[in-house]
Amino acid sequence: MSRSVGDGGTPTEAKVQFRLRISKGEDIAVGPGKVALLEQIGATGSITGAAKALGMSYRRAWLLVDSMNHTFRKPVVETLTGGSHGGGTAVTAIGEEVIRRYRRTESLARKAGAAEIAALLKLLSR
Amino acid sequence: MSRSVGDGGTPTEAKVQFRLRISKGEDIAVGPGKVALLEQIGATGSITGAAKALGMSYRRAWLLVDSMNHTFRKPVVETLTGGSHGGGTAVTAIGEEVIRRYRRTESLARKAGAAEIAALLKLLSR
């Protein structure tokens, strides 16, 4: 998540990124890349579509999904077979919860740190 | 900044990292690495000592300092010549402010996101 800051006394081009990453052992359970992938799978209905949207290979996207499916208690992505939609890939309820809580954490963090971040931005040269 | 979480219902080995990065144009103005470098320069009184403490080359540490000295309105690190200490390197007032505000932002963010992060950790498999 990044935001351009160009208001009033702050320099243009300054970007603020606030990134949450939760690791378990050697693996990153959830971080900016994995959450973006989940969101794109939800938006496109497929790993292929999500991979394209994010400019990553299908293989890499699949490996990230497979890793998340094992890191969390239940799969975050599921393959739908048959039915009126004739297959496709969907984000599960737990996957939606991961996205929601991750984005909410970022938003709360950004709000909590807003005054300090503004003060830091004022220290930058023009 | 990372923290091991091993209390009660949360899995052991889970680590939470919350990283703030402020970029300006192509350069990272301040992020976890640069703040750690400033802190180590303050602790050791030299770029050489800080570089050793962080396992980076003197050249890399010097380049990061030089970059910060230009990114901020005033230098964040200064070389002391002569005097009773006979030289050395010190973090300036603005450098101390950068460290303080950066760490404070992280702390506020972590507190604000604590409940959501705890909920995310509960979604991890054991």
Give the CATH number of the domain where residue B37 resides: 1.10.10.10
Q: Quote the tokens at residue A12.
A: 């243009």
pLDDT at B7: 45
Q: Do B113 and A111 touch (CB under 8 A)?
A: no
Q: Which of A26, A98, A124, A126 to mutate to test the interface with B (most CBs of B within 10 A)?
A: A124
A15 assigned to some structural domain = no
Of B14, B23, B116, the CB nearest to A101: B116
Report the pLDDT averaged over residues A27-52.
94
Mean pLDDT of chain B: 87
What does the angle CA B72 – CA B73 – CA B75 come to, to the nearest 5 degrees?
70
B13 assigned to some structural domain = no
What is the domain count for chain B?
Answer: 1
Q: Is A14 exposed, middle or buried (0-12, 13-18, 19+ CB in 10 A)?
A: buried
Q: Which residue of A has its CA nearest to B22?
A: A16
Q: Is B78 exposed, middle or buried (0-12, 13-18, 19+ CB in 10 A)?
A: middle
A79 assigned to some structural domain = yes
B15 assigned to some structural domain = no
Q: B50 in helix, strand or coil?
A: helix
* Predicted TM-score of the model (pTM): 0.80
Residue A1 has pLDDT above 70, yes or no: no
Q: Which of A4, A77, A110, A116 to mutate to test the interface with B (most CBs of B within 10 A)?
A: A116
pLDDT at B12: 57
B7 assigned to some structural domain = no
Q: Which tops the pLDDT comparison, B5 or B125?
A: B125
Q: Which helix (H) or strand (E) holds B69?
A: helix B58-71
What is the spatial distance between Cα B56 and Cα B59, in angstroms, rounded to a whole number? 8
A104 assigned to some structural domain = yes
Report the pLDDT averaged over residues A106-112.
93
**Residue A34 domain boundaries:** 22-111
Residue A64 has pLDDT above 60, yes or no: yes
Q: Which of A27-31, A94-98, B65-69 has the lowest mean pLDDT?
A: A27-31
> CA of A41: how far to CAs of A64, B19, B34, B112, in Å?
12, 25, 35, 28
pLDDT tier, B84 (very low <50, low <70, confident <90, very high otherwise): low
Of A72, A102, A113, the CB nearest to B124: A72
A32 assigned to some structural domain = yes
B14 assigned to some structural domain = no
pLDDT tier, B10 (very low <50, low <70, confident <90, very high otherwise): very low
pLDDT at A121: 94
Which residues in chain B are contacts of A105 at CB distance < 8 A?
Answer: 113, 116-117, 120
